[in-house]
Amino acid sequence: MSNVLPPSTLGRIVRGTGPGLLLAHGAGGGIDANFGPVMDVLSERRTVVGPDYPGTGRTPRATAPLTLDGLADELVATAVEEGVESFAVAGYSLGVPVAVRAAVRHPERVTALVLTAGFACPNPRLLLAARLWRDLLRGGDRERLAAFIALIGSSAPVLDEAGQDDLDRAVTTVAATVPEGTLDHVGLLLDGVDVRADLGSIAVPSLVVSTTLDQLVTPFHHRRVADGISGAEYAEIATGHLPFAERPGEWSALIRDFLDRV
């Protein structure tokens, strides 16, 4: 039985026609940032609904702390408001626990899951990174924050090959585009996101995509998610935490081909 859906306050992008695909982006991301580079492929044969979390993209910042249940419900409500009654959910990073919770709370609507670079519960290492992220946000030094994000978000091979001008430009771009709701998203992570008990309840076809060079949400977490879902498929991409930047073609093909099969 589904939980009652609230009206959605989330701005959204809707693209394509066909079976539904709901997107759940990462902390400090946004639909355009996290899924923009793969949107054309994902919307070729599907109706893609991409809500922006509060404080990113098309959605104003929240006035109250975010909750996992509330965010999952609003994402589902956004799709339903767009006339998409059932759908697969593709979650990225923080969007992985959001997608899992959406599937558990609304099982009659969620038909499949694709879970990329995600976690079920942050371990001390991830919490340490999140606390540093939070403190840099609070300190207001956007250049230092952007440097941290570049170091931990990109893979070592990409950073090792980057020239000084390219790296400087990337840091400057990140510093200028940090969404105002990022602190709220990181706060949600630090408040105790934990969907380990939910994983065993997932009964839809699921694909876990591991970003094998990830220095933020490491493959340790990806394997735990896959192991917790009965029958989950597991795929790997040699990328850091930003597959949409480093390997968009490979990532979009994995999502498309899995959903076409199931």
Residues 70 and 198 in one domain: yes
- For residue 154, the enclosing domain spans 124-176
Q: What tokens were used for 77?
A: 């409500």
DSSP for 86-106, written as a single string: SEEEEEETTHHHHHHHHHHH-
Q: What is the pLDDT of residue 139?
A: 96
Say if CB 115 and CB 209 are below 8 A apart.
Answer: yes
Residue 133 lies in a domain: yes
Which parts of the chain sit beneath pLDDT 50?
none
Q: Are 240 and 159 contained in the same domain?
A: no
* Domain final position from 136, 151, 176: 176
3-class DSSP state of 10: coil
User: Is the residue at 199 inside a domain?
Assistant: yes
- Residue 119 sits in a domain whose CATH number is 3.40.50.1820
Respond yes or no: is residue 25 known to be catalytic.
no
Say whether both 95 and 206 belong to one domain: yes
Residue 2 has what pLDDT? 65
User: Are residues 19 and 61 part of one domain?
Assistant: yes
Q: Is residue 254 part of a domain?
A: yes
pLDDT tens-digit map of 88-146: 999 999 999 999 999 999 999 999 999 999 999 999 999 999 999 999 999 999 999 99
214 an active-site residue?
yes
Number of structural domains, the chain? 2
In-domain check, residue 181: no
31 occurs within a structural domain: yes
Q: Same structural domain for residues 166 and 37?
A: no
Is-catalytic flag, 86?
Answer: no
Q: Is residue 105 part of a domain?
A: yes
* Closest listed residue to residue 91, CA positions, set 250, 245, 249, 243: 243
Q: pLDDT at position 3, please?
A: 79
Instruction: Determine, yes or no, domain membership for 5.
Output: no
Q: Write down the catalytic residue from 214, 221, 222, 252.
A: 214
Catalytic residue among 8, 43, 93, 210: 93
| Residue at 1 is within a domain | no
pLDDT (0 to 100) of residue 4: 82
